[in-house]
Chain A
Amino acid sequence: MDDIAQAFHFALKLILEGDRELFETVKLSIIVSLSASIIAFLIGAPAGAVLATQTFRARPAMLVSLNALLGLPSVVIGLFVYLLLSRSGPLGFLGFLFTPQAMILAQIILTLPIIAVMSYRATETYWADYRDTFVIFGASRLRAVATLISAARGALVTVFLAAFGRAIAEVGAIMMVGGNIRGFTRTMTTTIALQTSRGELALALGLGLVLMGLTLAISAAAFFLNRRMSDY
């Protein structure tokens, strides 16, 4: 119990003292996970809507695969991206291994299936309602997808937050492809893993509390943004 009380103490101290290294770590966590989830969203949301509106032969197989990919452990994604970006791998010439770019790539792969599957579910219900209207007015497929995304935007904000949450909470993949390099690729979660392995358990939990506060703030911001958008 002492340790947990101490963790709250550490969390408050870290925030109040405005520790510079903590600030940089938090900034990197947000940049990496936000960039990854935005890029994945821009690909995954339209892909989900396409899956909802189009019927083609490969669709069931794609849906099953996407659902299976939801369970992919982040460390496996890390390993895959590591071998991809390693100097001895196919994309080694980019020199991306052990950089934030590598971490973003890993988290895009991590969040893409979540976004695609959940966007599919979110737009599918609207498609059931709008389908006949689209057919009557002879709307193009592109138009149908765009309208569905717009109609489901409230649910899509939740989709985005779920993906962002998965990304910022993840440690296995970014540890492997980022290398947890101090001041360069060290994020909140890799710092927590590091402090845990140093036996600094209260400090590690304190950092965890800061991370929780952060995701809470982002989720609140998205909530209000969503409500304002719904007011149009």
Chain B
Amino acid sequence: MLRRSFVSRALVLGFICAAAHVPSRARAADSFITVASTTSTEQSGLFSYLLPLFRTASGIDVRVVAVGTGQALAIGARGDADALLVHDRQGEDKFVAEGHGIDRCDVMYNDFVLIGPKSDPAGIRGEKDAKEALRKIAAAKAPFASRGDDSGTHRLEMRLWKAAGVDVAPAAAIWRRETGSGMGPTLNLAAGVDAYVLADRATWANFKNRQNLEILSDGDPGLLNRYGGILVNPATHPHVKAAEARRWHEWLTSEEGRKAIAGFRVNGEQVFFLETAPAH
């Protein structure tokens, strides 16, 4: 008797859970797509702002998985997303060339900024040449926080170091620390140890735990940050929702979608720009 009551209670609890689960599944629209994107687009609040507009226009729900660009491309290559919105042109072209994706299109851009402590020990404040700023940081052996996670930001940083002629092999650059994590955790670390850090403007605009950090160098054309949309190739991955994903791309590049992107603000600041808009 005792045992029966115990087991039946457990079962009843289980059924309550299962029942509670049903509405949450039914609530989601029948038609949805999964988009793998970057943490910057998600954390800036852009998707929270765009997706309801797209749902109204199309009736399609978009489920955003926000990860680094490297991981987003890997998710796409495994067929686990229907579309991508990422920022690493070389990686994107490779993804398309390998047959994983189709219809790559420019969606929007912003820029990267070099952030550091107000005291600026390397003296990069106002430096317009990003490579020169990095050389100064290396010369001063000032702490620099790197993503180290194969994200779009990390890939750009590595290209910049190479162009600047600085050897950042761990043995040669002990002042450079790889966090191996997202933009936010890396900014948190930089804020904690007064390190320099490369970040995209949208994530920075949203970041609250700034402590002594501020933007010290920006405006180098090499710091342009282009976001590209790609559809996962239905020929390679037959299960993808090709029609709905195409609808998403069409909307993003339509007059309505472009207006929506251009109208998005973070604390009154525009952080994503359209390709045809004049650079700031």
Q: Which residues of A contact B (CB under 8 A)?
A: 24, 27-28, 31, 34-35, 38-39, 41-42, 86-89, 92, 95, 97-98, 100, 146-147, 149-150, 153, 156, 179-182, 184-185, 194, 196-201, 225, 229, 232
Q: How many residues of B contact A (CB 8 A)?
A: 43
Let me know if B239 and A197 touch, CB within 8 A: no
Shortest beta-carbon distance from B55 to chain A in Å? 11
Let me know if A199 and B209 touch, CB within 8 A: yes
* A34, A98, A196, A232: the one within 8 Å of B63 (CB): A98
Let me know if A197 and B182 touch, CB within 8 A: yes
Which of B13-21, B101-109, B170-178 lies at the binding interface? B13-21
Let me know if A200 and B208 touch, CB within 8 A: yes
Q: Which residues of B contact A (CB under 8 A)?
A: 1-3, 5-6, 9-10, 13-14, 17-18, 20-21, 24-25, 28, 34, 39, 42-43, 47-48, 63-66, 78-80, 182-185, 187-188, 191, 206-210, 237, 239
List 8 additional contacts besides A100-B24, A196-B188, A199-B187; criterion CB under 8 Å: A24-B24, A28-B24, A150-B2, A182-B47, A182-B64, A196-B185, A199-B207, A200-B208
In the bound assembly, the distance between CA atoms of A36 and B64 in angstroms comes to 24
Chain A residues with CB under 8 Å of B209's CB are 199-201
In the bound assembly, the distance between CA atoms of A150 and B8 in angstroms comes to 12
Let me know if A38 and B17 touch, CB within 8 A: yes
In the bound assembly, the distance between CA atoms of A42 and B28 in angstroms comes to 30
Chain B residues with CB under 8 Å of A95's CB are 239
Chain A residues with CB under 8 Å of B34's CB are 98, 179
Let me know if A31 and B24 touch, CB within 8 A: yes
Pair count A-B, CB < 8 A: 106
User: Looking across the interface, which residue of chain A has its beta carbon closest to that of B186?
Assistant: A197
In the bound assembly, the distance between CA atoms of A92 and B63 in angstroms comes to 18
Shortest beta-carbon distance from A231 to chain B in Å? 11
Chain A residues with CB under 8 Å of B42's CB are 182
Let me know if B65 and A42 touch, CB within 8 A: no
Let me know if A92 and B79 touch, CB within 8 A: yes
In the bound assembly, the distance between CA atoms of A46 and B21 in angstroms comes to 26
Shortest beta-carbon distance from B137 to chain A in Å? 22
* B2, B5, B39, B191: the one within 8 Å of A197 (CB): B39
* B17, B207, B239: the one within 8 Å of A87 (CB): B239
Let me know if B20 and A149 touch, CB within 8 A: no
4 tightest A-B contacts by CB? Answer: A197-B184, A199-B209, A150-B3, A179-B65
* A98, A100, A197: the one within 8 Å of B183 (CB): A197
In the bound assembly, the distance between CA atoms of A149 and B84 in angstroms comes to 50
